[in-house]
Amino acid sequence: MPEQLPNLPTHAARAAWRPSRRVLLQTGLLGALGLWGVSVVARGIPSAAAAEAGAPGAAPVADGSDVALAFFRPKDRPLAGAVVEALLDWALPPDPAARKEAVERSVLGADRYFASYTPAVQDEARQALDLLELAPVRWLGGLWSDWSVAEPAAVNRYLEGLRRGRLNLSRQVYRLLEGIATVGWYSQTAAWPGIGYPGPPDVPRPTGEAPL
Amino acid sequence: MSRTVHDASALEGDLTLDADVAVVGTGAGGATAAEVLARAGLRVVILEEGAYRTARDFTLHEGTASETMYYDGGSRTTKDGAMTILQGRTVGGSTTVNWTASFRVPDAVLEHWASAHGVQGLSPQELAPWYAAAERRLHVAPWALPPNPNNDALARGCKALGYEHGVIPRNVEGCRNLGYCGLGCPINAKRSMLVTSVPGALDAGAVLVTRCRAERVTLRAGRAVGVDAVALDTRGVRPSGRTVTVRARAVVASGGGINTPGLLLRSRLPDPHQRLGRRSFTHVVNSSLGLMPEPVDGYMGAPQSVHCAQFLFRDGVGGKAGYQLEVAPTYPLLSMSVLGRAGRQALQRWGPRYRHFQSLIALVRDGFHEQSPGGRVVLRDDGSPVLDYPVSDYLWEALFDAYLRMAEIQFAAGASEVLPVHTDAQPYKSWAEAKAGIPRLSRRPLGPSLFSAHLMGGCAMGEDASTAVVDSHGRHHQVEGLAVIDGSVFPTSLGVNPQMTIYALSARNATHLASSLGGKVAMRHGQDESTSHPMS
């Protein structure tokens, strides 16, 4: 018999806040702060936040929404929402209440989409979000306010920095964030009139009892 | 006859099944193999990671289709994130969601396989009857209606520039030219595995288990004797805790590129020459968006009906890398997420003109040169496979030549602006501007947006066990009772969309396997069309 591979990590174990050393090492950005210092910060601060935030899928969540998340943690909502609003401000409804709802629906759309990823890929994406949510990492990209209150213009400057970044990781992180916005919004029928997409045709389906 | 399908996500206990052959995968390779084996009277169990979704589930809503029928929602990537891979994860595999282009491989490729990779018995003449049978079964014919405006732009541009171009054959019957092939055909017009060989295999007695991920091939005394698999949750993503075990006389690995090498790597099979996972190919696709004066509506009408092979063998088989030009449909989520890579400004400026997008793609023929050795499939810590695919200067040269030719063709077809899909590019307003600007774009990873919808290689075939994983019939060189029947056996890429070559080769090799297992092989697969038509 072939040797047994290690057991697949359980979802709960992986959901705990634990930036992989690989991610940290790849992040040359953090070199400026000193890897040791940041590692200590990274391991210290968020454990309480993670406990408070809960694992993905926990419902109801503390921020007033009763929709269970499958990929994001409640703590990711401010970042995800800020990215949607910054990249798509020109496309979202101008009315503040309608805009808030559109952003919220986009975050949930992205959540469903990312939940279809291979578990290991979901873990990597969550680790990237964990990193971005660290204040020192935000500061290094020139974003001074917390994600929950950051101005769209400031967020866009930050995103543009990531997009044009010197490091592969920076450009990869941009694609992740850009995907949250575009996948989240354009999977909504409400987004389609804005680009003139009429939606799919309505066609009669095959009938009958057979599975095909 | 009743069909036996187990949805593993609904299992209340572990499941153990006995069979003559365990087949892993229901795509072009696995479904074909399963049908051939089952019709030969062998007991077949088929394991599929995706769910059993059929025309009635195909809402043509892109978000839902992506989440439920593609690996990683259609965003599977290579290890460094630089290439985005479109690969099906559903019953029928990628054939359920492909764009229906149905080519035979150019003769020069098969001749190269024989001379450079020790492949035997696969000359163009020997493979021709297998292609013919598959083409009959799947109703392959050159698209007879006029191309949609997206494809017509490619034809128009080529014509203006004197580039050779042709009509793409498609595997459809009763097609209503809807254009949503990539989200599952809602009227069963596409002759995918979902409506041909999967029901064909089930009607011949094969048992299908869905939402079930094969973890490893089990061995006894150096012989493959089954498959250990895990049941998945309803999303088809995480193990549910139940297991599925198949005990069999033989195992057929048909998970396609990345997944088949991944399964064999997890199985820790003997690999004395370190060939497994290597020589993985992708057709390294890049793309160019044009903005046309009139609406193109590239999400409507047959997605791919025109191709340009002018640059495919521009320097012979072993010379500079060549590429085939085709178009990609402009479904909204795909188009806007790709546009977003050029930044917020591009989104805001081009987004409102979405209906005018014209989308060209170049498929680079990889694997024919020492500087194009392909990528390598490796396992992550949790055992899931990932493709490491570095892009060499040799391939960059082809990709940048393709950016130029695509822009030239789009301007010749009347585009007002052209945007090479590249992080650093801004739209060009004329061919002269593009010609000057494109060579200056960076070649760093995640600069150019690269794609693949064609995973090939990783378990290369050939008669020499020191260079190949399997022989020319797909039989594993080291492990008795194990065959690989899918596109992962190709020793190079093809230069054209691979589904027909996978069908033809798989039918041939499965027929051979069926005979060796004592099955009754009466006729060439595909010659009997009377059964298993979905509409009958």
- b/e string for A101-122 if b means 16 or more Cβ within 10 A? ebbbbbbbbbbbbbbbbbbbbb
* B23-to-A65, B86, B510, B515 alpha-carbon distances in Å: 45, 23, 11, 16
Cross-strand partners of B233 = none
pTM score = 0.91
Residues 6+ apart with CB under 8 A from B282: B78, B83, B85, B257, B366, B374, B375, B387, B389, B452, B454, B455, B456, B493
List of chain B residues with pLDDT < 50 = 529-536
Backbone angles phi, psi at B207, to 5 degrees: -110, 130
Percentage of residues in chain B having pLDDT higher than 90: 96
Q: What is the DSSP letter of B390?
A: P
Taking only residues 164 to 223 of chain B, the set having a beta carbon closer than 8 angstroms to any beta carbon of chain A reads 176, 178, 180, 183, 186-188, 194-195, 199, 215-216, 218-220
CA gap B92, B95 in Å, rounded: 6
- b/e string for B77-108 if b means 16 or more Cβ within 10 A? bbbbbbbbbbbbbbbbbbbbbbbbbbbbbbeb
Taking only residues 28 to 87 of chain B, the set having a beta carbon closer than 8 angstroms to any beta carbon of chain A reads 52, 54-56, 59-64, 66-68, 70-73, 75-76, 80-82
End-to-end CA distance of chain B: 13
Nearest by CB to B62, from A11, A187, A201: name it: A187
Asked which of A27-41, A88-102, B71-85, B487-501 is least confident by mean pLDDT, the reply is A27-41
The number of C-beta contacts closer than 8 angstroms across A and B is 188
Put simply, the answer to whether B340 touches A200 (Cβ < 8 Å) is: no
Instruction: Select from A175, A177, A211 the least CA-distant residue to A78.
Output: A177
CA gap B503, B534 in Å, rounded: 19
Q: Which of the pair, B237 or A10, is modelled with greater confidence?
A: B237
Q: What is the pLDDT of residues B241-287, one digit of tens each?
A: 999 999 999 999 999 999 999 999 999 999 999 999 999 999 999 99
Helix axes A77-88, A168-186, angle to 10 degrees: 80
Q: What is the pLDDT of residues B418-437, one digit of tens each?
A: 999 999 999 999 999 999 99
Put simply, the answer to whether A196 touches B352 (Cβ < 8 Å) is: yes
A62 C-beta neighbours (distance < 10 Å), count: 11
Chain A nearest CA to B3, separation (Å): 9
User: In this predicted structure, what is the pLDDT of residue B532?
Assistant: 40
Would the pLDDT of A12 be above 50?
Answer: no
State CA B501 to chain mean position distance: 11
Helix or strand holding residue B289 (H, E) = strand B285-291
CA gap B488, B386 in Å, rounded: 14
Instruction: Select from B391, B498, B483 the least CA-distant residue to B36.
Output: B483
Residue A171 with chain B: CB contacts under 8 Å:
81, 423, 445-447
Put simply, the answer to whether A2 touches B216 (Cβ < 8 Å) is: yes
Residue A183 with chain B: CB contacts under 8 Å:
63, 66, 73, 333, 337
User: In this predicted structure, what is the pLDDT of residue B528?
Assistant: 52
| Most A-contacting residue of B291, B382, B443, B450 (CB-CB within 10 A), to test interface | B382
CA gap B135, B133 in Å, rounded: 5
Cα angle: B305, vertex B310, B312; to 5 degrees = 95
**Is the Cα torsion angle A71, B58, B236, B377 positive or negative in sign?**
negative
Which residues of B does the annotation mark as catalytic? 454
Q: What is the DSSP letter of A29?
A: G
Nearest by CB to B67, from A116, A118, A195: name it: A116
Q: Is B388 on the interface with A (CB under 8 A)?
A: no
B269 C-beta neighbours (distance < 10 Å), count: 21
Nearest CA in chain B to A200: B60
Q: Which of the pair, A42 or A110, is modelled with greater confidence?
A: A110
Contact B379, B258 (CB under 8 A): no
Chain B nearest CA to A60, separation (Å): 21
Would the pLDDT of A107 be above 80?
Answer: yes
- b/e string for A31-44 if b means 16 or more Cβ within 10 A? eebebeebbebbee
Taking only residues 398 to 437 of chain B, the set having a beta carbon closer than 8 angstroms to any beta carbon of chain A reads 423-424
CA gap B325, B361 in Å, rounded: 6
CA gap B200, B181 in Å, rounded: 21
User: In this predicted structure, what is the pLDDT of residue B367?
Assistant: 98
Q: What is the DSSP letter of B81?
A: S
The three-state (H, E, C) secondary structure of B14-39, written as one string: CEEEECCEEEECCCHHHHHHHHHHHH
Put simply, the answer to whether A186 touches B187 (Cβ < 8 Å) is: no
Would the pLDDT of A86 be above 50?
Answer: yes
Put simply, the answer to whether B219 touches A116 (Cβ < 8 Å) is: no
Q: Three-state DSSP class for B207?
A: strand
List, as one string, the DSSP characters of B96-131. Answer: GTS--B-PPPPHHHHHHHHHHH---S--HHHHHHHH
Contact A180, A79 (CB under 8 A): no
CA gap A59, A66 in Å, rounded: 6
- b/e string for B183-193 if b means 16 or more Cβ within 10 A? bbbbbbbbbbb
- B192 dihedral zone (left: phi>0; alpha: psi -120 to 50; beta): beta
Nearest by CB to B354, from A2, A6, A196: name it: A196
Nearest CA in chain A to B336: A182
- B25 dihedral zone (left: phi>0; alpha: psi -120 to 50; beta): left
Does a cis peptide bond (omega within 30 degrees of 0) precede residue A60?
yes
